[in-house]
Chains A and B, each alone.
Chain A
Amino acid sequence: MSNSKFNKNVTRRSAMGLCLGAASIALAGCGGSPSSDAGGSSSGSAKRKVAMIMSGTITDGGWDQGHYESLKKAIESHDGWEMLEPKENTADADAATAAQSYVDQDVDLIVGNGNQFASDWAEVVASAIEDHPNVHFLITNTDPKSEMADYANLDNVETVLPDFTQTGALAGVVAGLMTATKSIGFIGGMKLPSTEAKYAAYLAAAQKVNPGVTGQYNFEAGFTDASLGTKLTENWINSNNVDVMWGDASAVDNGSRQALAAAGADTHFDIAQPIDIVGDDQPTVITSTVTNWKIDQAMDEIEKGSFGKGNTIVANMDNGGVALGKFSDKVPQDIQAKIGEYADQIKAGSFLTDAEIDAIKKTL
């Protein structure tokens, strides 16, 4: 009977008013302060600028936070540089636009925290070489030979690759010396060559310091489903007596620690990565394998004018790119001393042979 499009309490006019009001509030909310330094220029300052574009958030307790901590360290040791606010949660589809916005501001160094940026940034990098030659790009966890083959020019690009064998071996030594059941576990977010390299070195090192250690692994747990980490670890504890875990899957590792804590934080341990999180609020974490993404080295190279040409910065134990974090008091002093001795051998390259690591890889 009635032709009204809406139910009676809202008319077309009031609905339009509502929409306009909502739009005004949204626009007001979007308007940033002109003095905001996020991406803004700092007039009167001669400092160089560094910006980071990341796939997650700076507090994810894993991959992204590790990169942010590396950037903060680099800034602390370089007075002539300032950090722009990182762009978090950048989807692949937005990665090029985000980079271009920094290129347009003549930011000196743009860091992409993962190899996905290598494929996203090819065009941005190419055009920046022509129009903004003072802009430099650093992409982490990327092998330029295999992942940047389509780049016509790498003059303004470098990449960072950690020594995954060293990282895995450090974690393996700790796991091998701390396991009482001779059963250790590993969760990786994605099945990548780097994930397999880490696990192979982890298990090989654990078996070297404690023969007979067996390993459980999952390489495709993703990075967000913490409950999967809990359930996987719980299963391994129940079925395989796993008592030491090492994770490479951000939020999933957090879930794993819940299962370890439920099984007993005095007998079930976690080795965290890539930041040092040992503390009272992490009762199961006994130490961390820490990665520094060597952004400081890239800054040094830019200052000297030697940055670029598609070089790869290798983050390892020699340059502080790979290290063990603090130990919790659950690791006895004598074990800590042994770990120190093995760490020296790992640093010297005399601890594991390629054949020992390859033997594990073949079983994966």
Chain B
Amino acid sequence: MDFFMASLPTILSATTLSAVPILLAALGELFSERAGLVNIGLEGIMAVGAFVAFAVGKMTGNLWLGLVAAMAAGVLVNMIYGLCTVTLCCDQVVCGMAINILAPALALFGYNLFVGSNSANATGSLMPHIQIPLLSQIPLLGDPVFGQQLLAYLAFILVPLIGYFFRNFRGGLSFRSVGENPQAAETLGINVVRIKYAACVACGVLAGAGGAFLSICTTPIYIDGIVMGRGFIALATVIFGRWSALGIMAASLLFGFFDGLNVALQAQFNASPVMFFKMIPYAFTIVALVFFGSRRAGPKANGQPYYRESR
């Protein structure tokens, strides 16, 4: 009990720190899958987002510009996926994997050009933490939960907005109908191809922002491999969250909690085999997918190419 209470602040702050990039990328994937596009290239898009945010933030001294540039870069990379899967009707999984190979290599190439042998460019800066008045004074909970960076707050604010969009907006309903039955949606006058491209744009923006969080909110550097599988965790989070924004947030926080627990255990039990603790968040992901991974709950036309005017 003493261990848990002493570690609680770390576990809570690690929960949000780990959850936010996954949440952002998973919300992007939600747009994609709601429009019938399974995009497993999140890992690659996040890598590009992380690099671009770091480089532009460093060059301009404005991390918000870095964030916007990362979103734009995410869209640009995801347009390759969109062109291949929506226009050329290629296999979505193969294209996603190609993005996962191409995008981190592009980011590393850009990093080598930007930093090269100039180590002065190797370290950027971080967004400041913002303490919410009164709430951040709550014992134990206050600072770790209500002392986040603005981008983290924005990520959590997005959750109800996106949920509301899919439930109540005409555009949101169009997304859902395209993901369920694009042929039927087309007969209702919905431009399926346009919706799918819009989903690619939203996915690129949010996954790019998720990557940016890693290099402008978590650590002020870019390093090859910085995403460390978070893109794939985000994919699992969408399934575990049953394709709902609220469910995705809960799943992201749960993953973050287990990641925080893993760190607390590593920190306090030095002589134990820490590799065992490191498995905890990933083992949780597998267990969650076993119990909640049924794709029957997802959009019916998910992952299937759409041929306009075919039945």
* A interface residue numbers (CB < 8 A to B): 1-2, 4-10, 15, 56-61, 65, 68, 88-89, 216-220, 224-228, 230-232, 234-236, 238-239, 250-251, 254-255, 258, 262, 281, 363-364
Closest to A59 in B: B122
CA A217 – CA B272 in complex, angstroms? 11
Nearest chain B CB to A132's CB is how many angstroms away?
Answer: 28
Q: What are 8 A-to-B residue pairs whose CB atoms are below 8 Å? A: A7-B89, A61-B221, A220-B274, A220-B278, A230-B219, A232-B263, A251-B221, A281-B123
| A226 pairs with B14, CB closer than 8 A | no
Give B309's nearest chain A residue, CB to CB: A2
Which chain B residue has the least Cβ–Cβ distance from A234?
Answer: B10
Please name all residues of chain B whose beta carbon is closer than 8 Å to the beta carbon of A239 when the two chains form the complex.
6-7, 10, 267-268
In contact, B117 and A6 (Cβ under 8 angstroms): no
Q: Is B138 an interface residue (CB 8 A)?
A: no
Are the CB atoms of A227 and B18 closer together than 8 Å? yes
Contacts A2-B308, A7-B86, A226-B218: A231 and B260 contacting too (C-beta < 8 A)?
yes
Instruction: Kindly state the separation between the CA atoms of A18 and B108 in the bound complex, as whole angstroms.
Output: 25
With A2-B309, A216-B267, A227-B17 already in contact, the answer to whether A235 and B10 are too (CB < 8 A) is yes
**A60 near B223: Cβ-Cβ < 8 Å:** yes
CA–CA, A6 and B260, complex, Å: 46
Judge whether A238 and B9 touch: CB under 8 Å.
yes
Across the interface, do A230 and B274 meet the contact criterion of CB distance under 8 Å?
A: no
Q: Tell yes or no: B228 within 8 A of A by CB.
A: yes
Could you tell me the distance between the alpha carbons of A357 and B84 in the complex, rounded to whole angstroms?
60
- Contact yes or no, A218 B270, CB < 8 A: yes
Is A9 a contact partner of B271 (Cβ separation < 8 A)?
Answer: no
- The reply to whether A258 and B224 form a contact with Cβ atoms under 8 Å apart is no
Chain A residues with CB below 8 A from B187, complex form? none
Which of B17, B86, B126, B218 has the most chain A CB atoms closer than 10 A to its own CB?
B218
The answer to whether B310 and A61 have CB atoms under 8 Å apart is: no
The digit string for B264-289, where 1 denotes a CB below 8 A from any CB of A, is 10111011001100100000000000
Judging by beta carbons under 8 Å apart, are B266 and A364 in contact? no
B226 lies within 8 A of chain A by Cβ: yes
- The answer to whether A227 touches B267 (Cβ under 8 A) is no
Contact of B115 among A57, A89, A228 (CB under 8 A): A57
Q: Is B137 an interface residue (CB 8 A)?
A: no
Instruction: Pick the most buried of B18, B112, B117, B311: most chain A CB atoms within 10 A of its CB.
Output: B117
Q: Quick check: A59 and B115 within 8 Å, CB to CB?
A: yes
- B193 close to A7 (CB less than 8 A): yes
By a CB distance below 8 angstroms, the chain B residues around A58 are 117
Which residues of chain B have C-beta atoms less than 8 A from A238's C-beta? 6-7, 9-10
The 8 A CB mask of B3-21 against A (1 = contact, 0 = none) is 0001101100110011000
- A231-B17 contact, Cβ under 8 Å, with A6-B87, A88-B112, A364-B271: yes
Number of interface residues of B (CB under 8 A): 53
Contact B275 A235 (CB under 8 A): no
The smallest C-beta distance from A344 to any residue of chain B, in angstroms, reads: 31
Instruction: From B88, B108, B111, B221, give the contact of A254 (CB < 8 A).
Output: B221
B164 at the binding interface (Cβ < 8 Å): no
A7-B86, A220-B275, A231-B14 are contacts. A2–B7 as well, Cβ < 8 Å? no
* Nearest A residue to B264, CB-CB: A235
Nearest chain A CB to B113 CB, angstrom units: 12
B111 engages A57 (CB within 8 Å): yes
Q: 1/0 contact trace for B154-165 toward A, CB 8 Å?
A: 000000000000
What is the bound-complex CA distance between A226 and B129, given in angstroms?
Answer: 18
Known: A1-B309, A231-B10. A236 touches B218 (CB 8 A): no
With a 10 A CB-CB cut-off, give which of A7, A216, A226, A230 has the most chain B CB atoms.
A7
- Distance, CA A250 to CA B123, complexed state (A): 13
CA distance A5 to B90 in the complex (A): 9
Mark contacts of B207-221 with chain A using CB atoms, 8 A cut-off: 1 yes-contact digit, 0 otherwise: 000000010001111
Q: A7-B87, A220-B278 are in contact. List 12 more A-B contacts (CB 8 A).
A: A1-B309, A1-B310, A4-B307, A6-B88, A9-B193, A59-B116, A61-B221, A226-B223, A227-B17, A227-B214, A238-B10, A363-B271
A5-B89, A89-B108, A230-B218 are known contacts. Are A224 and B226 too (CB-CB below 8 A)? yes
B119: CB under 8 A from chain A? Answer: yes
* B225 at the A interface (CB under 8 A): yes
A9 touches B10 (CB 8 A): no
The answer to whether A61 touches B226, judged by C-beta atoms less than 8 angstroms apart, is no
Nearest opposing residue in chain A for B84, CB measure: A15
Instruction: Give Cα distance in the complex from A236 to B268, angstroms.
Output: 8
Is B60 part of the binding interface, using a Cβ–Cβ cutoff of 8 Å?
A: no
Residues of A within 8 A of B266 (CB): 218, 232
Residues of chain B contacted by A219 (CB below 8 angstroms):
274
A60 to B89, CA, bound (A): 40
Residues of B within 8 A of A65 (CB): 119
A-side contacts of B115, CB under 8 Å: 57, 59
- Contact in complex: A218, B267 (CB < 8 Å): yes
Q: Judge whether A251 and B219 touch: CB under 8 Å.
A: yes
Instruction: Find chain A residues with CB under 8 A from B260 CB.
Output: 231
Inter-chain contact B118/A59, CB cutoff 8 Å: yes
Give Cα distance in the complex from A127 to B137, angstroms.
68
Specify the chain A residue showing the minimal Cβ separation from B123: A281
Are the C-beta atoms of A234 and B221 separated by less than 8 Å?
A: no
| B306 proximity list for chain A (CB < 8 A) | 7
CB distance from B129 to the nearest CB of A (A): 8
Q: Give Cα distance in the complex from A9 to B275, angstroms.
A: 51
Residue ID in chain A nearest B274 by CB atoms: A220
| Chain B residue, CB-CB nearest to A237 | B10
CB under 8 Å from chain A, chain B span 106-140:
108, 111-112, 115-119, 121-123, 126, 129
CA distance A4 to B9 in the complex (A): 58
- B220 surroundings in chain A (CB, below 8 A): 254, 258
Q: B119 and A2: CB pair below 8 A?
A: no
Residues of A within 8 A of B218 (CB): 226-227, 230, 255
Shortest Cβ-Cβ A-B pairs, 10 listed: A226-B219, A235-B267, A235-B10, A59-B122, A231-B263, A239-B6, A2-B309, A224-B225, A231-B14, A59-B115
A236 adjacent to B87 (CB under 8 Å)? no
Which of B14, B87, B221, B310 is A9 in contact with, Cβ under 8 Å?
B87
* Cα(A239)–Cα(B5), bound, Å: 9
